[in-house]
Chains A and B, each alone.
Chain A
């Protein structure tokens, strides 16, 4: 409660700030993107919950269970591809700190090639299972399996499109605040998808294999 008893000198009190306190564009943007990541995390959390509920034995409706079809070593290669992709992206960001355009582009290219490898392996795996008639419409449990893994794959797919856009922008534009902000956001996105993949790998592939 402000008490009027305290005297305020109208000559001395500061009432106006003016424009000099500009807002930092990059920090505002990355904060907003971080909030988006939070909501994306909730999306995955909900999908994990659905997967957990639909991984009881009866959810597979006497059909195949993950123990019968997941291949942890195969998916381990995927894991490595994604991790290396994140690493390559990291190199690109260190190059950005030095204003090294070629370094940024090379890092992004390497990251996207590794991302494509990840996605290719994923598609190959899905086709392998389809060949064995293990499909999302076999049972509720498999629906959840496919939904969780393929929603993640879809994120990777959109991340790759974004990466291509960024390669183009880095080639054509200066390192403006907007471009740098986008590169940082994409890095958050990419790293977050790798973290989600760790959860998927542990809970879906490893755990599924052992159960």
Chain B
């Protein structure tokens, strides 16, 4: 070995030893038991009901973009919960430990978490929330929606899509393994040089962090190639660039960012790995290493990454608001331009994450001005949404609540971001909880948009709508939690509280920290409301069957096909005639028109190779973390062999005959409620007719006699 490893190592198990399992830890040991019991129960349940075959055939080997999307979303929700528990622990620790005389328990001097444990929690929290919760949730929704919005049968590379999911899942399993085997990094989610060097962090924590990062980066890059190729190559006839739905535009720009920025992350983290595994000197404090090089390389990815996650959220808001305002999106072209302007500028601002590096007034000014420039296209977007609602016929559905909530958070987050972009202010509040509150506003804006779109697109995927009332209860609880946690956090930031304190020493912070704990409890209630919403919706699903156009006022192409979407997406590929095709057909009384002729459809086959390679990448990550060289080598070779095997085998796909397609389409049509009757009754009288439509007067929009609600 090239580096002097502190502690024992043996050729078979690497650094792995029984003592690495924290069975004496009063928090982790019971948790481990719970996880094992739950896992066993699940396995037993699946075996009892004989569902293994179903699981393998329908889910684990699937290449269907909708099922992959659903699995991405489930993965993201589970990790959102895990990250939330981390947050809950940090909030309670700080509230318990505040002040010089705070007592301690369970080995901690103050509070109940030791500094080392606390460090692992905030590091895991940040990494999980950004890369393993928000990213899979967004990728999952893009996966489901993009092919439908552009009228494609599937993604450009269905197999690659499955591979991306399973590699992401491997990253999730790896970071979860760090809970129970060894420990996680304590250097913050973005890492600092040289604390993550082997000399200062001799454990496996940083190694878990490295390989989890590498796996997500790989999975996300594969996904971004797929999305870009799908949007560029797979659009239905007539889906010109000028007609592309806004969410698809936003996803396109976001994925261009991902494709170009994730390699920077891979290099940054890869060089850390080289330092730790090979003994190089990229970021060491001596031997000519450069500490700030790491920080630069990391944020060179890090800032584009934050726009990678927020641009799709903007796209979601741009779909929800027009639907529930019954108007086309205001300023479509400016919206597209603003999206790409943001994506471009996002490359020129990374230095604002460390103005305190002290790069001198000229460089600081450049990055300060560039950062403020982002505000212009963002402002364009906000005004576009506002003008979309202006004189629209608003329906306050739960989805609309979340979209509007996202706008408020965007405002708060954007304005505090503007404050941070001024170096003189930044020197005061850098690394304070003010920054933490800023980016939580932004990331919560994304979470709001995600909840909104889960409600919005749920009927398309599952065929019934979610319970509106419980969706709103959840919204209000979640928003109360957000206010209670983050308003005090902004104040603490001004009071000089720095981030990541396992022991907040100043007793003046105590009231604010206590309010935040209250906020966390309200968040817990909102999670309960979410569960109730799911339960009630599933129970009453028969009463809430959705039509093809589930909201009666939808606009883009995905609402043309049946709900739930059949596996082939569109029985007959539509010809696109307008920007908001579904709204256009509705306004011209064409909604009820059906294709007269069906063709045979060619679909890709399922494959187990993707999940096998995913599993192997987990083994590789785990073996590298624990320095089990033989296992790393074997799993790497196995991955290459699997890839060659797949390449030799190819996929002939299978064909669904035209009569079969026709039969399934008729069947779907028969079981769906009628499309043109307005379903939702709450709120303002809404109708199937767009606000600016003149069609209803001519009677053509109401082929089946829907009532005319126009004023």
Which A residues form the contact surface with B (CB < 8 A)?
1-5, 8, 10, 13-21, 23, 27-28, 31-32, 35-36, 38-40, 42-43, 46-47, 49-50, 53-54, 58-61, 63, 136-141, 143-144, 146-147, 161, 165, 169, 176, 178, 182
Of the candidates A4, A31, A138, the one having the most CB atoms from chain B within 10 angstroms of its own CB is A4
Q: Are A23 and B289 closer than 8 Å at their CB atoms?
A: no
Shortest Cβ distance from A164 into B: residue:
B644
| Other A-B pairs, 8, CB within 8 Å; known A49-B297, A165-B644 | A4-B587, A10-B593, A17-B236, A19-B599, A21-B237, A54-B288, A141-B288, A143-B280
B267 interfacial by beta-carbon distance below 8 Å: yes
Whole-angstrom distance between the alpha carbons of A136 and B259 in the complex?
29
B117 at the interface (CB under 8 A from A): no
**Given A21-B573, A42-B260, A137-B278, is A2 in contact with B232 using a C-beta cutoff of 8 Å?**
no
Closest to B293 in A: A53
28 contacting pairs across A/B (C-beta < 8 A): A1-B692, A5-B694, A15-B577, A15-B585, A15-B593, A16-B572, A16-B573, A16-B597, A18-B599, A23-B234, A35-B224, A35-B259, A38-B259, A38-B260, A39-B225, A39-B262, A47-B267, A50-B297, A54-B288, A59-B288, A139-B287, A140-B281, A140-B282, A147-B271, A147-B274, A147-B282, A165-B644, A178-B650
Is A31 a contact of B232 with CB atoms below 8 Å? yes
Q: Which of A14, A38, A58, A143 has the most CB of B within 10 A?
A: A143
A63 to B224, CA, bound (A): 42
Pair B156/A140 contact, Cβ less than 8 Å: no
Q: Are A35 and B237 in contact (CB under 8 A)?
A: no
Residue contact B300 to A53, C-beta cutoff 8 Å: no
Contact A46–B585 (Cβ < 8 Å): no
Given A53-B293, A139-B281, verify A2-B587 contact (CB < 8 Å). Answer: yes
Name the one of B2, B271, B579, B590 contacting A137, with C-beta atoms under 8 angstroms.
B2
Which residue of the partner chain A has the closest CB to B227? A35
Query: Could you tell me the distance between the alpha carbons of A4 and B591 in the complex, rounded to whole angstroms?
Result: 14
- In the complex, how many angstroms separate the beta carbon of A58 from the nearest chain B beta carbon? 6
Cα of A39 to Cα of B256 in the assembled complex, Å: 10
- The residue in A1, A16, A27 that gathers the most chain B C-beta atoms within 10 A of its C-beta is A16
* Interchain residue pairs A-B with the least CB separation, the first 10: A140-B288, A143-B280, A61-B288, A19-B599, A4-B695, A43-B263, A42-B263, A46-B267, A16-B595, A59-B288
> Is the CB–CB distance between A39 and B590 below 8 Å?
no
- Smallest Cβ-Cβ distance to A42: which chain B residue: B263
Please name the residue on chain A nearest to B292 by beta carbon. Answer: A53
Given contacts A18-B599, A46-B267, A140-B281, contact A2 B259 (CB under 8 A): no
Contact A17 B650 (CB under 8 A): no
Asked if B471 is an interface residue, CB under 8 A from chain A, the answer is no
List CB contacts (< 8 Å) of B213-264 with chain A: 221, 224-226, 228-229, 232-234, 236-238, 259-264
Complex CA–CA separation, A17 to B573 (angstroms):
5
B274 near A32 with CB under 8 A, answer no
Partner of B233, one of A28, A169, A182: A28
Chain A residues with CB below 8 A from B593, complex form: 10, 15
Contact (Cβ within 8 A) B694 A31 = no
B: which residues have CB within 8 A of A? Answer: 2, 156-157, 160, 221, 224-226, 228-229, 232-234, 236-238, 259-264, 266-268, 271, 274-275, 278-282, 284, 286-290, 293, 296-297, 300, 328, 572-575, 577-580, 583-585, 587-590, 593, 595, 597, 599-602, 640, 644, 647-648, 650, 690, 692-695, 701
Taking CB atoms, residues of chain A closer than 8 Å to B228 are: 35
Q: How far is the CB of B153 from chain A (nearest CB, A)?
A: 9
Instruction: Give the docked Cα–Cα distance between A31 and B228 (Å).
Output: 9
**Pair A40/B575 contact, Cβ less than 8 Å:** no
- Smallest beta-carbon distance A48→chain B, Å: 10
Q: In the complex the two chains form, is A143's CB within 8 Å of B261's CB?
A: no
Beta-carbon contact of B282 and A143 below 8 Å: yes
The residue that B574 contacts in the complex, of A17, A40, A50, A139, with Cβ under 8 A, is A17
Residue of B nearest to A60 (CB): B288
Give the docked Cα–Cα distance between A66 and B225 (Å): 37
Of A5, A35, A165, most B-chain CB atoms within 10 Å: A35
B263 & A32 in contact (Cβ 8 Å cutoff): no
- A43 in contact with B266 (CB, 8 Å): yes
**What B residues does A10 contact at CB under 8 A?**
588-590, 593
Chain A residues closer than 8 Å to B279, beta-carbon distance: 136-137
- CB B289 to nearest CB in A, in angstroms, measures 4
Residues of chain A contacted by B160 (CB below 8 angstroms)? 32
Interface contact A17-B282, CB-CB below 8 Å: no
CB distance from B710 to the nearest CB of A (A): 12
Bound CA–CA A32/B234 (angstroms)? 12
Question: Across the interface, which residues of B come within 8 angstroms of A14, CB to CB?
Answer: 575, 577
A178 proximity list for chain B (CB < 8 A):
650
Contacting residue for B267 out of A50, A60, A136, CB 8 A: A50
With a CB–CB cut-off of 8 A, which chain B residues contact A137? 2, 278-281
Q: How far is the CA of A138 from the CA of B264 in the complex (A)?
A: 25
> Which of A8, A14, A161 lies at the interface centre, i.e. has the most chain B CB atoms within 10 A of its CB?
A8
Contact of B261 among A13, A42, A49 (CB under 8 A): A42
B contact residues around A49 at 8 Å (CB): 297
Instruction: Check B238–A17 contact: CB distance below 8 A.
Output: yes
Cα A178 to Cα B521 with chains together (Å) = 56
Pick from B225, B261, B593 the residue with the most CB of A within 10 Å: B225
When the two chains form their complex, are residues B575 and A17 in contact, meaning their CB atoms are under 8 A apart?
yes
Residues of B within 8 A of A38 (CB): 259-260
A94 to chain B, nearest CB (A): 24
Of the candidates A1, A15, A47, A61, the one whose C-beta lies within 8 Å of that of B287 is A61
